[in-house]
Amino acid sequence: VSYPSIVGEILASGFSIIGFSWICSPACTELEVVVMDWLAKFLQLPEHFLHETEGPGGGIIQGSASEAVLVAVLAAREQAVRRELKNHPELSESDIRGKLIAYSSDQSNSCIEKAGVLAAMPIKLLPAGEDLVLRGDALKEAIERDVAAGLIPVICIATLGTTGTCAYDDIESLAAICEQQQVWLHVDAAYAGGAFALDECAELRRGLDRVDSLNFNLHKFMLVNFDCGAMWLRDANKVVDSFNVDRIYLKHKYEGQTQIPDFRHWQIPLGRRFRALKVWITFRTLGAEGLRAHVRKHISLATQFENLVNADARFELVAPRALGLVCFRPKGDNEITAKLLQRL
Ligand code: PLP
């Protein structure tokens, strides 16, 4: 966390905005559009994720990665139900809902499985490879098996930077399968997304031009305090169509204009916090270079620690260091690791 972010949080609390719609606080919506585009450019995301680019893409600040994943899962589910109803008029809606299935890796964060529980749609956790990476071949095999059994694949949630070892799923090969099968591809980059800002980590961004949505937590790597989960959608209309429930008291003069999104349709609650203010102040105070330097410092500290582990005969690495994460253990029985963990 950083002081600028804390100041932003204090100001937002003081203003006490409850941004149901644009008219409740134009700044709350409009500053979010500005900072989400800044952030997308800073992370070098594909242009179709920017509000300022013509088209249906854009970004929003959710509370957490869990919320972003749930929104993607629910929107993908509703899009799939509508598509199947159109293609198979002989099936009832409940028949279709009973056949839906989603996919992720057995290395994905607990919030992915939880999104499946909340969305009442099973999410199969596919086995990652020995390097803990999920690839297209595992997804292809699972989809072929499920389609043959009459199921309807809906969404695959890949991870860039898994919680356990910061492994990166192979987005290109997963995207190829998702495109063939009309499956929504979401990327959870809750932690590793901060490294997209570094030219030396450009490899991590490979395939992002082919994903439908992604999330990244500013409260993990970007010196912004909790809560601040950025999410981008390639086609926000798919979310708006799925979640749009209107009332007369929510109407305002800019309704339906793409430059002024109604973020309430992109999220689970109606009201929203003015989170953009702490992002704006943090970016304006520390600057892009300051934030990049912070991510590089994390990586350099982890590299130093990795060297210390490698130089000490009592310890070993369990996975290659990735960004700021070093997975290590004392050599020998697992009990020693458990004891060390407890002492730490
Ligand atoms: N995804 C990954 C890869 C994570 O590491 C975490 C948390 O550590 C989450 C999702 C959950 O994040 P949140 O607490 O913002 O829901």
pLDDT (tens digit per residue) in 132-183:
999 999 999 999 999 999 999 999 999 999 999 999 999 999 999 999 999 9
Kindly state if the Cβ of 237 falls inside 6 Å of ligand 1: no
Number of domains in the chain: 2
Kindly report, residue by residue over 303-320, the tens digit of the pLDDT. 999 999 999 999 999 999
Q: What is the DSSP letter of 325?
A: B
Q: Which residues pair with 153 in a beta bridge?
A: 101
Q: Which of 111, 118, 213, 225 to mutate to test the pocket of ligand 1 (most atoms within 8 A of CB)?
A: 111
Would you say the pTM of this structure is higher than 0.85?
Answer: yes
Average pLDDT over residues 6-29: 93
Question: Distance between CA 219 and CA 204 in Å, rounded?
Answer: 20
Kindly report, residue by residue over 49-77, the tens digit of the pLDDT. 999 999 999 999 999 999 999 999 999 99
Q: Which amino acid is at 97?
A: R
Q: Which of 62, 71, 159, 191 to mutate to test the pocket of ligand 1 (most atoms within 8 A of CB)?
A: 191
Kindly state if the Cβ of 108 falls inside 6 Å of ligand 1: no
Query: Cβ(234)–Cβ(282) under 8 Å?
Result: no
**Band (254; pLDDT cuts 50, 70, 90):** confident
Question: Distance between CA 96 and CA 250 in Å, rounded?
Answer: 32
On the CB side of 302, how many CA atoms lie within 13 Å of its CA? 17
Residue 89 in 3-state DSSP? coil
Question: Distance between CA 1 and CA 279 in Å, rounded?
Answer: 11
Q: Residue 253: what pLDDT?
A: 82
Q: Residue 243: what pLDDT?
A: 85
User: Ligand 1 centre and the CA of 284: distance in Å?
Assistant: 26
Kindly state if the Cβ of 109 falls inside 6 Å of ligand 1: yes
> CA angle, 255 as apex, 81 and 56 as ends, to 5°?
50
Last residue of a domain, one of 286, 302, 319: 286
Last residue of a domain, one of 286, 301, 316: 286
Residue whose Cα lies nearest atom 12 of ligand 1: it is 65
Residue where the block lists tokens 């190829």: 176
User: Could you tell me how far CA 20 lies from the centroid of its own chain?
Assistant: 23
Would you please indicate which residues are annotated as catalytic (active-site) residues? 109
Clarify whether residues 212 and 105 are in a common domain. yes
Kindly state if the Cβ of 111 falls inside 6 Å of ligand 1: yes
Clarify whether residues 212 and 181 are in a common domain. yes
Average pLDDT over residues 285-302: 97
Domain containing residue 55: CATH number: 3.40.640.10
Kindly state if the Cβ of 163 falls inside 6 Å of ligand 1: yes
Clarify whether residues 141 and 237 are in a common domain. yes
Kindly state if the Cβ of 192 falls inside 6 Å of ligand 1: no
User: Considering Cα of 102, then 107, then 108, then 110, what sign does the dihedral take?
Assistant: positive
Residue 239 in 3-state DSSP? helix
Q: Residue 280: what pLDDT?
A: 98
User: Ligand 1 centre and the CA of 111: distance in Å?
Assistant: 7
Q: Which domain holds residue 337?
A: 288-343
Clarify whether residues 276 and 314 are in a common domain. no
Residue whose Cα lies nearest atom 5 of ligand 1: it is 163
Q: Residue 90: what pLDDT?
A: 94
Average pLDDT over residues 219-229: 94
Residue where the block lists tokens 């309430």: 264
Q: Which of 134, 217, 275 to mutate to test the pocket of ligand 1 (most atoms within 8 A of CB)?
A: 217
Clarify whether residues 260 and 300 are in a common domain. no
Kindly report, residue by residue over 27-47, the tens digit of the pLDDT. 999 999 999 999 999 999 999
Res 103 pLDDT > 70: yes
Q: To the nearest whole number, what is the mean pLDDT of the chain?
A: 95
Cβ count within 10 A of residue 288: 12
Q: Which residues pair with 152 in a beta bridge?
A: 100
Average pLDDT over residues 184-201: 97
Clarify whether residues 153 and 276 are in a common domain. yes
Q: Residue 245: what pLDDT?
A: 84
Residue where the block lists tokens 């305002």: 252
More confident call, 248 vs 73? 73
Average pLDDT over residues 81-90: 95
Clarify whether residues 19 and 60 are in a common domain. yes
Atom of ligand 1 nearest to the CA of 66: 16
Atom of ligand 1 nearest to the CA of 163: 5
Percent of residues, the chain, with pLDDT higher than 90: 92
Give which of 183, 166, 192, 196 is closest to 65, Cα–Cα: 192
Q: Residue 258: what pLDDT?
A: 67
Kindly state if the Cβ of 217 falls inside 6 Å of ligand 1: yes
